[in-house]
Amino acid sequence: MTTHVFIGPTLSAEEVLAAVDRATVHGPVRHGDLLALDTGAADTVLIVDGVFHQTAPVRHKEITDTLARGTRVIGASSMGALRAAELWPYGMEGVGLVFGMYARGDLDADEEVAVGHLPSGAHRQLTVPLVNVRWTISNAVAERALDPGHGVALLEAARALHYTERSWAAVVHTTRRLRPASAEAAEALRDFARRRPDLSDVKRRDALLALSHCAAPPRPAPSPGRTPAWMVPRTMYLERWRGLHRAAVRDRHPAGVSELDVLRFQQLYAPDFPERYRRFALTRIAGAPSDLAGSGLDRAALEAAGRRGVTAARLPRTAWSYWLTAEERRAGGPEHHLVKLLVRSFRSAPGAAPFHDAPAELRGTKEAWAASADAVAAADRLNARMARTGERRTPRHLPRALVRRHLVDTWGVEEPAALTAVARDRGFISLEEAEDAARRFVLLRRASGNQRPVAL
């Protein structure tokens, strides 16, 4: 049972640990962070802070995927309040005043909770969120430290500032420029905020409340008429995000090597991957049991294709020339040709890739998987060292001819049509896609001097 807390400028890690014993503290949540967690029904995720400007924010699908695993997800204060206001009908719990204002529609802009902060591990806050300005004005009026007539002017002055520039000093300066009659009120508001931090930081208040809420029993399930998270459709984008962000071998590579990273490596270099992929594609086409193999699997796939109108007799000549090489078309019979075509043209959905995450059928042995993860990590370390030596020293700057030569040496074929055929037999949509995947590993192969970066 683990409580994961995503926090940044709103609270420090020390404050989180003081409130929730043995919590696992993370930085502000970003796209992929929840998918990388191995959470279950006994775990809790609290989202307070999140990024949205520097990198992609946490997606709604990632949160509903976490909820569908039975994990309790709570949001408050900042990004957490935003997402909870959008996803409470699916089971996410919202806590605090900021959440309430978003849920009721009193607030509707992300800017209300946005702040500028240092990108360091401490995420020290540099500016004041607009929602805090609102709350401070309200409390200052209630405490008779501010005349109600100046509230609108001060709020408009704060709204005129970009969130990266909004500080109490900037609010005072902007008020003097835009609303001179309220300049003294702006100074009084600034002084009140300094004197009464308990009445000027609603985001901090909500975050502390949410930490205490983690210890309370979960709320009842959503009432009838609302949609539980496990009923939210899974999309190919979510599947791909899961493969891109889940660690391939947990706790093995601190820098992070994902499942799709390792599968891409095996797709390029594992000698038995074409056979793995062939079984995977034909099984999906046939809808057959996973233990069906050999001619029985071929026959099941051909029958399934025939029921959908895909037969050797009906396919135009251009289909054969596109999917098979001239040498392949001269060898074997129509059914043999059609099986090859089915494998190479397989897609999980119209226009989509053959696979999005890392299916168990394509992973190979545990030993090969771990060795492949080590090779990916080694390639990344080498690429990072090379990038530090100067500009244009990264994999994406490698000449395409050099990358193609790498595949020629690896796969043992040189003619472009044969290279394309091998790429498709390994589940790549095209030779260009295979070349783009191989860029990451070219320098490792050249440094090791081996035909393949690792023995699989």
- Asked if residue 52 lies in contact with residue 59, where contact means CB atoms within 8 angstroms, the answer is no
Residue 449 confidence class, pLDDT cut points 50, 70, 90: low
Q: 74: which strand partners?
A: 46, 93
pLDDT tens for 15-74 read 999 999 889 999 999 999 999 998 999 999 999 999 887 789 999 999 999 999 999 999
- Which of 128-142, 286-300, 367-381, 409-423 shows the lowest per-residue confidence on average (mean pLDDT)? 286-300
The CA–CA distances, whole Å, from 329 to 282, 289, 338, 343, 412 equal 20, 30, 10, 15, 20
Work out whether strand 72-76 and strand 44-47 pair parallel, antiparallel, or are unpaired: parallel
Of residues 351 and 73, which shows the higher confidence score? 73
- Asked if residue 428 lies in contact with residue 437, where contact means CB atoms within 8 angstroms, the answer is yes
With a CB cutoff of 8 Å and minimum separation 6, the contacts of 289 are: none
Residue 392: per-residue pLDDT: 81
- Asked if residue 427 lies in contact with residue 264, where contact means CB atoms within 8 angstroms, the answer is no
Kindly give the interhelix angle for 259-269 and 400-411, rounded to the nearest 10 degrees: 70
- Asked if residue 98 lies in contact with residue 203, where contact means CB atoms within 8 angstroms, the answer is yes
- Which of 168-177, 206-215, 320-329, 349-358 shows the lowest per-residue confidence on average (mean pLDDT)? 349-358
117 pLDDT more than 80: no
Model pTM score? 0.80
Residue 254: per-residue pLDDT: 52
- CA-wise closest residue to 305 among 345, 275, 276, 342: 342
Of residues 27 and 451, which shows the higher confidence score? 27
How far is 450 from 409, CA to CA, in rounded Å?
Answer: 10
- What is the token pair recorded at 182? 């309220």
pLDDT tens for 192-251 read 999 999 999 999 999 999 999 998 888 765 555 577 887 778 787 888 888 888 888 776
**What is the per-residue DSSP string for 209-238?**
HHHHHTTSPPPPPPPTTS--GGGSPP-HHH
454 pLDDT more than 50: no
The identity of residue 84, as a single letter, is: A
The identity of residue 286, as a single letter, is: A
Among residues of the chain, what percentage have pLDDT more than 70? 93
- CB count within 10 Å of CB 425 equals 18
**What is the per-residue DSSP string for 113-164?**
T---B-SSTT--B-S--HHHHHHHHHHHHHTTSS-GGGHHHHHHHHHTS-TT
Residue 292 confidence class, pLDDT cut points 50, 70, 90: confident
DSSP classification of residue 76:
E
